[in-house]
């Protein structure tokens, strides 16, 4: 396997980061404790070991850096060194991971009430992640840290994937006995994969050892405090066939009798003004459209721009994912960029390499801080053929390029999206009318 094998020694300099000591190593990368030499902040630096996944790593790093939730580790930075190796810089969560906790305190496992509370907190983290259309895919005790004064924090998104994506070429990325069978087999990834990992984690915290597929152990007989209802919930979370498994972490928490806090965390979908009830409703609708578009096309970002009738400018109304904060509200002069050319021509395009496309508005992209690798842009075209805006899909999460085969699907999606938006006139407002 092509990649990087040599460990980074203590004191090694990575730009403004100084390596101190290794923390862990997994299938996709090694994690080190380090210090930001400029600010003095302690950080965790993840180094990509397999260089075949460099493009995917860069794209995912951009997206993960947008996650903001008190129970999810914050991604602070990402960069490539002179040798082409990628690094992800995360906040360093001080505390003990649940794997170490069960090793040190387990008898053989932890008290049931404590396990249930840790699981509830993990569900809060995962529910937020899933709401952003991301699946962690490596949920295990070692990736759940009991932070000092903060409770559980979910860490290490090195193998995160978009909901619904298959994983050909990276079969088996994850941790055996915590990995859902469909992930091991390279099948479609969904929120149910994280439910499996969470249930396997809970089983481990109770028994002291992870389950095996179809584990026959009777928990209610061997572990005092495990009720029949709790065991039934665990087994429902460990179902081999994903369609039979508990569908979501919120449903898993409900089955445990726990309530989740859902108000915390920043959404990756943003839109212009949400002052009144009508604009709030319109914003929610257009945000839902860009979120769905990103999911359908396995993208790191998506946006909708509508034509301002008086000026002819394209105004970015909503965006999801990497760069969303910076693109919403941007005004693009008529005919400028790939989006402008699509409005003018009325036909969708797939751009495999944005940076070498003469239509690409490089200055505007640089101003947003997000220069995409590949792009899919299709018109929002009304029944009479009038183009009122564009839907843009940026960067396939697997590192591949969009091509002409994606255009027809994207145009069909845009047609449905426009129908939905037209059913709520406030979603289009005075623009593009």
Say what the pLDDT of residue 28 is: 63
**Sequence spans of domains, the chain:** 13-91, 95-255, 269-428
Residue 26's pLDDT band, with cuts at 50, 70 and 90, is low
178-234 pLDDT, tens digit each: 989 988 777 778 899 999 999 999 999 999 999 998 888 899 999 989 999 999 999
Residue 172 has pLDDT above 50, yes or no: no
- CATH 1.10.510.10 for domain 95-255: yes
Catalytically annotated residues:
138
Report for 36-50, 204-218, 244-258, 417-431: range of highest mean pLDDT: 244-258
Record the pTM: 0.84
* Radius of gyration of the chain from its Cα atoms, rounded to whole angstroms: 23
Say what the pLDDT of residue 115 is: 97
Instruction: Considering only residues 333 and 85, tell me which one the structure prediction assigns the higher pLDDT.
Output: 333
Residue 137's pLDDT band, with cuts at 50, 70 and 90, is confident
Instruction: Considering only residues 401 and 26, tell me which one the structure prediction assigns the higher pLDDT.
Output: 401
Say what the pLDDT of residue 315 is: 94
Mean pLDDT of 101-118: 96
Residue 175 has pLDDT above 90, yes or no: no
Instruction: Considering only residues 34 and 274, tell me which one the structure prediction assigns the higher pLDDT.
Output: 34
383-400 pLDDT, tens digit each: 899 999 999 999 998 888
CATH numeric code, 269-428 = 3.30.450.40
Residue 360 has pLDDT above 90, yes or no: no
Residue 361 has pLDDT above 60, yes or no: yes
Instruction: Name the CATH architecture for the domain at 13-91.
Output: 2-Layer Sandwich (3.30)
Q: Mean pLDDT over all residues of the chain?
A: 86
């Amino acid at each position: 396997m092509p990649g990087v094998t040599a460990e980074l020694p203590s004191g090694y300099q990575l730009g403004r980061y100084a390596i101190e000591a290794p923390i862990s190593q997994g299938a996709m990368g090694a994690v080190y404790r380090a210090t930001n030499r400029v600010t003095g902040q302690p950080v965790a630096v993840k180094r990509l070991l397999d260089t075949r996944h460099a493009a995917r790593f860069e794209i995912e790093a951009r997206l993960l850096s947008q996650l903001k939730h008190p129970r999810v580790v914050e991604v602070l930075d990402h960069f490539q060194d002179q040798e082409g190796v990628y690094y992800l810089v995360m906040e360093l969560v001080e505390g003990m991971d649940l794997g170490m906790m069960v090793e040190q305190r387990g008898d053989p496992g932890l008290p049931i009430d404590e396990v249930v509370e840790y699981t509830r907190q993990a569900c809060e983290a995962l529910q937020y992640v899933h709401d952003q259309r991301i699946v962690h895919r490596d949920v295990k005790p070692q990736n759940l840290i009991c932070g000092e004064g903060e409770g559980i924090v979910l860490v290490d998104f090195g193998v995160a994937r978009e909901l619904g994506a298959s994983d050909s070429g990276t079969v088996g990325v994850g941790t055996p006995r915590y990995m859902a069978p469909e992930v091991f087999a390279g099948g479609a990834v969904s929120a149910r994969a994280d439910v499996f990992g969470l249930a396997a984690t809970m089983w481990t915290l109770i028994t002291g050892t992870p389950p095996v597929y179809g584990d026959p152990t009777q928990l209610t007989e061997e572990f005092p405090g495990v009720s029949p209802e709790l065991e039934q919930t665990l087994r429902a979370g460990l179902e081999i066939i994903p369609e039979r498994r508990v569908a979501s972490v919120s449903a898993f928490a409900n089955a445990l009798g726990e309530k989740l806090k859902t108000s915390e965390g920043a959404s990756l979908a943003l839109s212009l003004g949400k002052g009144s009830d009508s604009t709030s409703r319109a914003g929610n609708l257009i945000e839902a459209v860009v979120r769905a578009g990103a999911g359908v096309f396995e993208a790191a970002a998506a946006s909708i721009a509508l034509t301002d009738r008086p000026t002819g400018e394209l105004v970015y109304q909503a965006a999801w994912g990497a760069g969303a904060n910076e693109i919403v509200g941007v005004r693009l002069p008529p005919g400028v960029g790939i989006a402008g050319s699509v409005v003018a021509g009325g036909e969708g395009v797939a751009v495999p390499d944005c940076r070498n496309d003469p239509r690409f508005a490089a200055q505007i992209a640089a101003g947003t801080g997000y220069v995409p690798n590949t792009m899919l842009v299709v018109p929002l075209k009304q029944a009479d053929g009038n183009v009122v805006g564009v839907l843009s899909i940026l960067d396939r999460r697997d590192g591949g390029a969009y091509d002409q085969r994606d255009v027809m699907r994207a145009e069909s999606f845009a047609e449905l999206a426009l129908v939905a938006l037209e059913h709520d006139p406030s979603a289009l407002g005075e623009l593009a009318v």
